[in-house]
Structure 1
Amino acid sequence: MRDKYMKQLENLNNNMIEMGAMIEKSIENAISALVRQDVETAKKAIEYDAEIDEMEKNIENMCMKILLSQQPVASDLRTVSSALKMVTDMERIGDHAADISEITIMMADKPYRCKLEKIEKMAKETMIMLVQSIESYVNKDIEKAKAVINHDDIVDGLFDEVKKALIVAIKDDEEDGEQMADLLMVAKYLERIGDHATNISEWVIYSITGKR
């Protein structure tokens, strides 16, 4: 019975890693489509969100089976219950990547009037947070989880820079105000992805320490 239980926990970890890789891929595809104004890649990124949703359901079912069929000790109970919370944040990250792709499609008929370096930098920093938050869960690494939480300040700072630059651009060129507003929304979705990675890390700390 114990061997079966440990196998279930191992499978849960493996599925969490797989879902982490899926949402990492979804962000990469969304940003690649945005930068290149690639409608086909954007459409694929939106379709990919359905697979992420399905993965969330699978992990939720796995967690419920462990909770109902086993009697987890306190630390394992926190691990499983935290995974249930984390997959919700992970699924929302997938949603935001799809949201970015939808905006990309809407903006595809006109060249960008401003550079996207800061938005690309935001995406890179949120990816770092995402990868490390999943690693901290799998490896039960409190210090890495705390580092992710602190890293959110970098993403928030970049968002403020992007917001200020786009507001100035809107004032300077009202004709392209809609495009600037759409890019601001992209930056906002990236900022939210950083928030979700922070949430994941906070649940990691709870799963290890029992404290939020």
Structure 2
Amino acid sequence: MRQAFEEEVNTLHIRFLEMGKLVNEAVYKSVKAFTNHDKQLALQVIEEDHLINQREQKLEESCFELIALQQPVTSDLRKIITVMKASADLERMGDHAVSISKSTIRVKGRKRDAEIEARLVDLAELVKVSLEEVLTAYLKSDVKKAKAIAAKDKKINERSKEILSLCIEDMKKDTELVFGATDYMLVSTYLERIGDYVTNICEWIVYLSTGKMLELNTKNVE
């Protein structure tokens, strides 16, 4: 009985990691589509978002079933809650990838700023690496690594603020850049929010190992 329960919990973790890979790919594609002005790739991200949503829904259903049927003890319940909460954070990251893709479709053909787009690519790479690292930390239940990843979110926030400042400067200098700069600001904010969700998952990793909810970043998202 115990072995069967452990196998089901392990299956949950595997499915969570698979979902994480889908989300990471969606984020990468959405930024690539935005900076390359690739409407077709943006549409692909939007169309494939339902796959992420389905995975999150199935994970949630499986978690509720385990709780109802197995009535797990405290330590086991933490494992299930962690999967359920962390997968919800992943699903929200996927939503932001969709929002970036919608920006791609909206801004196509408008005047662009190569420097800001390059900075967005750099910011996206920071976010992508953080997401990849947090999935590895989750797999290994690595609390030390989770805290280190959360600490790096400060750099993501700083880069996002730099992009926002450049956008404001652009809008002041050239009215033709107002619409494009607005979308740059939105994309930068979406990436920064994804970084916040990565921090949330770091907190769930700590909770899984210690049973304590620690706020690893003063700027959290709900």
Partner of 1:80: 80
Residues in 2 aligned to 1:49 and 1:117: alpha-carbon distance in whole angstroms: 26
Q: CA deviation at 1:174?
A: 1.5
Tell me what 2:150 maps to: 149
Question: Helix, strand or coil for the counterpart of 2:152?
Answer: helix
Bigger shift: 193-202 or 78-87? 78-87
Give CA-to-partner distance per residue, 1:161-198, whole Å, 9 cap, x none.
11111111111111221110111100000000000100
Query: Aligned residue for 1:198?
Result: 199
1-structure distance, mates of 2:131, 2:62: 22
Unaligned runs of 5+ in 1: none
Which residue does 1:29 correspond to in 2?
29
Q: Which runs of 5+ in 2 are unaligned?
A: 214-222
**Aligned amino acid, residue 170 of structure 1:** M
Aligned length: 212
Query: Counterpart amino acid of 1:175?
Result: E
Please list, as runs of the form range in 1=range in 2, the aligned pairs for 1:184-195 lying within 5 A after superposition. 184-195=185-196
Stretch moving more, 61-70 or 7-16: 61-70
Cα displacement string for residues 35-73 of structure 1 (whole angstroms, at most 9, x for unaligned residues): 110000000001111110000001101111211111323
Query: Separation in 2 of the partners of 1:129 and 1:80?
Result: 23
* Further displaced range: 144-153 or 129-138: 129-138
Q: 5 Å matches for 1:57-206?
A: 57-115=57-115, 116-206=117-207
Cα distance change of structure 1 residues 126 and 197 upon mapping to structure 2, 3 Å threshold: same
Letter in 2 for 1:139: K
Distance 1:21 1:45 in 2: 14
Question: Could you tell which deviates more after superposition, 38-47 or 169-178?
Answer: 169-178
CA contact (8 A) 2:111 2:176 kept: no
Q: Could you tell me the TM-score, scaled by structure 1's length?
A: 0.96
Percent identity over the alignment? 32
- Aligned-partner SS, 1:41: helix
Paired AA for residue 189 in structure 2: K
Q: In structure 2, what residue type is equivalent to 1:79?
A: K
